[in-house]
Chain A
Amino acid sequence: MSGLGYLARRLLRALLTILGVVTLVFLLVRLVPGDPVDVILGDRASPEDRAAMRAHLHLDDPLPLQYGRFLGDVADGSLGQSFRGDRPVSELVAEVLPGTAALALAALLVAWLLAIPLGVLAARFRGRAPDRLASTVAVLGLAIPNIWLGPLLVLLFAVQLRWLPLPGDDAAGLASLVLPAITLGTALAASLTRQTRASLAEVLSRPYVLAAHARGLPPRRVYFRHALRNAALPVLTVGAAQLGALLSGTVVVEKIFERRGLGTLFLNAFFDRDMPVVQGCVLVIATTYVVVNVLLDLAYAAADPRVRLE
């Protein structure tokens, strides 16, 4: 199949998935047993308030009409109106999105800085001390929950050593990003380490690497110019699979470190029963996930022509 055909097919699938996500988010709030008005107002609300809320939410309209209106809100980008304060959900999301993006990118950076050297060392010295160290780090990194790692890091670096600011210290600037990024990046680093090691170990046994060694190229050049480039592809895919963990991890990490972001907006909306905001956050997170996955797939296909032939 041609490159353009692959691109078109992949984009179509992504669009369908996003439409499915929108539909599921819509149905989730409406098909679950129980009246959303009860959840929003509590069961002691007066009948007048309840009727007003029903009218406000257009709950008495037929389902297809509600769905059409919801699609309209998504299409015009407003994502509906928040119950509290009557602002468009998109405005609320846009306010907090940069903070969350900064956190996710910083965590990704932490993961790469930890995982690539560890994975390379482990593959280079397979079965020896660096390999065992890397695999122990990976096992621990996956097992220590970020809800525990976060508080432990705060205890050590902010309370005992006083190197970094305490959670909620807004004046701290970039320094306040360090502990959250480590907390979020550790699990990702663990799985990336494993993948880098496995992928590189596989590539290192290929004939062309042996040939490069045989031609007398310096080992560093063989590793970084020849082996690592080819080992990077599977690592990219793991990155995609782990992206979900990264996105949902921001919810937890923002709460631990009292950071403003999409995660805290989502959680606060949950506790306020502000359904349009809950819906909007879920939509934004799921759509980001789908879009980044498409971009990674396309990058993968661009880098490895074999992918397009499938």
Chain B
Amino acid sequence: MSRPTDSAPARRVRDLGARLRVGAPLVGLFVFLALAGPWLAPADPQAIDLADQYALPSAAHLLGTGDNGIDLASVLLHGARLAGLVALVVVGVSASVGTLLGAWAGYAGGAVDHAVSGLADLLQAFPGIVLNIAILAVVDEPGVSHVILALCVPGWVLYARIARAEAMALRQREFVEAALALGMTRSRVLGRHVLPNLLGPIVVQATSGVGGVVLAESTLSFLGLGPSEGVSWGALLDQGSGVLLRYPHVALVAGGAIAATVLGFNLAGDGLRDRLDPRSAGRAPRKA
């Protein structure tokens, strides 16, 4: 009866769909490295060994060495911590603020909606990292907290847009009207009935959002605008690009880590979306 491929766990894995099957392990690996990375690191990521610069991978240095002989594996492991920390805080703050503001705007309508939507429109007029850079430009020595701030300021907008659209749709639903008819206050309806019901799309967005923040932090660091303290994948990639012609392994290692992380979170987000909303699935049923 129970062939190994039909066991409950195997079936559960198969039901995940191809995107989650690839994305979830990558996400898991990143989370593990962000948590445990600094303890797993074989060396201090800033330890200098001038005799051993830009060495190819070997038993002593699993991923080789970079500028000043730093151990690339250790840089990656410490960089995962920084990327994970920035992503956790930025997505946490952006998603919370955006969801609350968006849900409030969509549910209350009127002046609140105009104010929130107007601010969102305004912030969206600054494309991508341009506003991040403009914010960092007014800080003397950007640190991790400044980078987090620069990413949060425009970061909440997307979550607010999603939450607003969902809240506007939920406002019309019978169970919300019933709760109001039963005498529940509007704020209680918002907290008890509207917010919990719009979390699905927010979670999906937050999942791909982590990849986006990792990419944004790496890009800022690559451009030399990242946190001045700590070790970043983007800064390592910048270093690697500088010596690309002679020592391509540095850029390959750093860029590979960023790409694998972004890929993992994108796939996981897509996979979750497919599960929550079958209409958007890759294999939509063919009509007629």
Which residues of A approach B to under 8 Å, CB–CB?
17-18, 20-21, 24-25, 28-29, 32, 34, 36, 38-39, 126-127, 135, 139-140, 142-145, 147-148, 150-152, 154-155, 159, 201, 205, 210, 243-249, 251-252, 255-256, 266-267, 270-271, 273, 275, 278, 282, 285-286, 289-290
Query: Which chain A residues lie closer than 8 Å to B240 at the CB level?
Result: 151
Tell me whether chain A's interface is mostly helix, strand or loop, or mixed: helix
A53 → chain B closest CB, angstroms: 15
For window 113-142 of B, CB contacts with A under 8 Å fall at 118, 121-122, 124-131, 133-140
Cα-based distance from A144 to B118 in the complex (angstroms):
33
How distant is A13 from chain B, measured CB to nearest CB, in Å? 8
B282 / chain A contacts, CB cutoff of 8 Å: 135
Can you name the residue of chain B whose Cβ is closest to the Cβ of A126? Answer: B286
Nearest to A290 among chain B residues (CB) is B125
Query: B207 near A: Cβ within 8 Å?
Result: no
- Within 8 Å by CB of B137, from A205, A251, A270, lies A270
Q: How far is the CA of A246 from the CA of B19 in the complex (A)?
A: 26
Further contacts, 18 of them, CB under 8 A, given A143-B259, A144-B263 = A24-B122, A145-B215, A145-B255, A147-B238, A147-B241, A147-B258, A150-B241, A154-B244, A244-B128, A247-B127, A251-B129, A252-B223, A270-B136, A270-B137, A275-B137, A278-B134, A282-B126, A289-B127
Complex CA gap A24/B121 in Å reads 12
B94 interface residue (CB < 8 Å to A): no
Query: In whole Å, how far is A208's beta carbon from the nearest beta carbon of chain B?
Result: 12
Min CB distance, B217 to chain A, in Å? 11
Shortest beta-carbon contacts, A-B, top 7: A248-B128, A244-B127, A148-B255, A143-B263, A205-B287, A20-B122, A32-B138
B137 and A255 within 8 A (CB): no
Given contacts A245-B128, A285-B130, A286-B130, contact A271 B224 (CB under 8 A): yes
Distance A285 CA – B213 CA, assembled complex (angstroms): 22
Chain B interface size band reads: 35 or more
List chain B residues, Cβ under 8 A from A144: 259, 262-263
User: Do B266 and A151 touch across chains, with their CB atoms under 8 A apart?
Assistant: no
Contacts of B19 in A (CB 8 A): 139
* Complex interface bits, B261-288 against A, C-beta within 8 A gives 1, otherwise 0: 0110011001000000000001110111
Chain B's nearest CB lies how many Å from the CB of A83?
Answer: 13
Cβ contacts under 8 Å, B283 to chain A:
127
Report Cα–Cα, A126/B282, bound state, in Å.
9
A286→B125 CA distance, assembly (Å): 5
With contact pairs A147-B237, A252-B222 given, residues A39 and B255 touching in the complex (Cβ less than 8 Å): no
CB–CB B129/A143 < 8 A: no
**Candidates A17, A36, A39, A148; contact of B237 at CB < 8 Å:** A148
A283 to chain B, nearest CB (A): 10
Whether the Cβ atoms of A28 and B130 lie closer than 8 Å is: no
Contacts of A127 in B (CB 8 A): 283
Number of A-B contacts (CB under 8 A): 147
Shortest C-beta distance, A74 to chain B (Å), equals 15
Residues A139 and B218 in contact in the complex (CB < 8 Å), given A145-B255, A151-B241, A270-B225:
no
- What distance in Å separates the Cβ of B134 from its nearest Cβ neighbour in chain A? 5
Q: Does B51 contact A (CB under 8 A)?
A: no
In the complex, are the beta carbons of B255 and A28 less than 8 A apart?
no
**B128 neighbours in A (Cβ, 8 Å):** 244-245, 247-249
Residues of B within 8 A of A126 (CB): 284, 286
Q: Which residues does B use to contact A, with CB under 8 Å? A: 19, 118, 121-122, 124-131, 133-140, 211, 215, 218-219, 222-225, 234, 237-238, 240-241, 244-245, 248, 251-252, 254-256, 258-259, 262-263, 266-267, 270, 282-284, 286-288
Complex CA gap A278/B234 in Å reads 23
Distance of A246 Cα from B225 Cα, bound (Å): 20
* Pair B234/A243 contact, Cβ less than 8 Å: no
Q: Which of B129, B245, B262 contacts A248 (CB 8 A)?
A: B129
Q: How many Å lie between the Cα of A152 and that of B282 in the bound state?
A: 30
How far apart are B176's CB and chain A's nearest CB, in angstroms?
Answer: 25
Q: Are A34 and B138 in contact (CB under 8 A)?
A: yes
**Interchain CB contact under 8 A, B125 and A210:** no
CB pair B258–A145 under 8 Å, yes or no, is yes
- The answer, among A29, A256, A267, A286, for a CB contact under 8 Å with B126, is A286
B13 to chain A, nearest CB (A): 20
In the bound complex, residues from chain B placing their C-beta under 8 Å from that of A29 are 138
19 A-B interface contacts by CB (under 8 A)? A20-B121, A20-B122, A24-B122, A29-B138, A127-B283, A139-B19, A140-B263, A143-B211, A145-B259, A147-B237, A147-B241, A151-B240, A151-B255, A244-B128, A248-B129, A266-B130, A267-B133, A270-B133, A275-B137
Task: Looking at the assembled complex, report how far the CB atom of B123 sits from the nearest CB atom of chain A, in whole angstroms.
Answer: 8
Q: How far is the CA of A139 from the CA of B271 in the complex (A)?
A: 12
Does the CB pair B219–A145 fall under 8 Å?
yes
**How far is A255 from B262 in the complex, measured between Cα atoms in Å?**
22
Interface centre among A147, A205, A271 (most CB of B within 10 A): A147
Tell me how far the C-beta of B142 lies from the nearest C-beta in chain A, rounded to whole angstroms: 11
The CA-CA distance from A140 to B259 in the complex, in Å, is 9
Rounded to whole Å, the gap between the CB of B174 and the closest CB of chain A is 26
Given contact pairs A20-B125, A32-B138, A290-B125, A151 touches B288 in the complex (Cβ within 8 A): no
Q: Are the CB atoms of B129 and A289 closer together than 8 Å?
A: no
